[in-house]
Amino acid sequence: MTRLYTLIAYICINIPFVISQQPVGCNQSCPGGKFNQVPYPFGFSSGCEIQLNCTSSGVVLINEFPVEQINSDDLIVTLPTMCGRPVNTLRNLYSKNYALTSASAILMENCTTETSNCYLPVQLPQFRSAIVNCSSVGYGNMSCYVGDVRSNMFLDYGNVTSLGCKFLLTGFVSERIGGVGPPPSMTRAVKLGWWVKGTCDDSCSDDANCTRIVSPVDGSDGYRCKCRNGFNGDGYKSSSGCLPLKGTVYHYLA
């Protein structure tokens, strides 16, 4: 009898997990690249909560920018070095579901005000030369901008563009702001925080924590789910939810 209850419990827990791996109406497959299938809430069709693009060669994109990592609370997106790229291209990294975080440092050129509040391993001109020298084709007056991760989760688009810069050179992930610290942890890339639109109410699995997000784009409500310690899954009721990790023992009455 005990074995029967154990089998029933296993089926009840795992069948919903199998069924919900691919949400109805959402294509999460991008074959041929580093992501064969992206996790919920991401996907490549109109039925997905957060829609990405998939090229014929299997590259996952946010607009024209390749996605390198998809994490439980952020994305790492490649921002290739380019001379003469309009600064308003940054707008493509802001949407109703994601935005640049304050850990993203943005390097721009032809600015009306030259500033640098980013931590760099060397002086700004040397850092620029190490990446690419756009001065040879008529660019200069470089600025580096990063937010304050201690007070704001996201990088304010208005503050970035208020420097009056014309061109977006590149970016890097900077976990330190000023003072003494390690060099930037990742160059030619930026970090995007993401969220699902809505509220925490009944959205996450019973075994998940819900983080409330206020969209920096339009001020609307958003949230993210994450399974608690001892559980595995994406944390969302509409997807895989949370399952006990292997080795976790549950007792059932016979």
Q: How sure is the predictor about 94, in pLDDT bands with cuts at 50, 70 and 90? A: very high
Distance separating alpha carbons of residues 216 and 101, to the nearest angstrom: 10
User: Which residues, at least 6 apart from 63, have a Cβ–Cβ distance to it below 8 Å?
Assistant: 53, 92, 93
If you average pLDDT over residues 37-59, what whole number do you get? Answer: 95
Residue-wise burial string across 20-31, b where 16 or more C-beta atoms lie within 10 A, e elsewhere: bebbeebbbebe
Distance separating alpha carbons of residues 34 and 30, to the nearest angstrom: 9
Q: What average pLDDT does the chain have?
A: 82
Tokens at residue 25, please? 């109406």
User: If you write DSSP's letter for every residue of 97-146 in order, what string do you get?
Assistant: SEEEBTTEEEEEES-SS--B-S--SS-HHHHHHHH--GGGGT----EEE-
Cα-based distances in Å from 6 to 3, 11, 101, 248, 250: 5, 9, 45, 13, 9
Q: What was the pLDDT predicted at 13?
A: 42
Identity at 173, one-letter amino acid code: V
Tokens at residue 76, please? 């790492």
Q: What was the pLDDT predicted at 187?
A: 81
Nearest to 145 by CA among 164, 130, 131: 164
Tokens at residue 112, please? 């009306």
The answer to whether the predicted template modeling score (pTM) of the entire model surpasses 0.85 is no
The β-bridge relationship of strands 189-194 and 74-78 is antiparallel
100 burial (CB, 10 Å; 0-12 / 13-18 / 19+) is buried
Q: What is the pLDDT of residues 11-35, one digit of tens each?
A: 444 444 433 355 568 999 999 988 9
Q: How sure is the predictor about 232, in pLDDT bands with cuts at 50, 70 and 90? A: very high
Q: What is the pLDDT of residues 156-182, one digit of tens each?
A: 999 888 889 999 988 888 765 444 555
Cα-based distances in Å from 223 to 62, 154, 217, 238, 253: 20, 14, 14, 14, 37
Q: What was the pLDDT predicted at 163?
A: 86
Distance separating alpha carbons of residues 250 and 213, to the nearest angstrom: 34
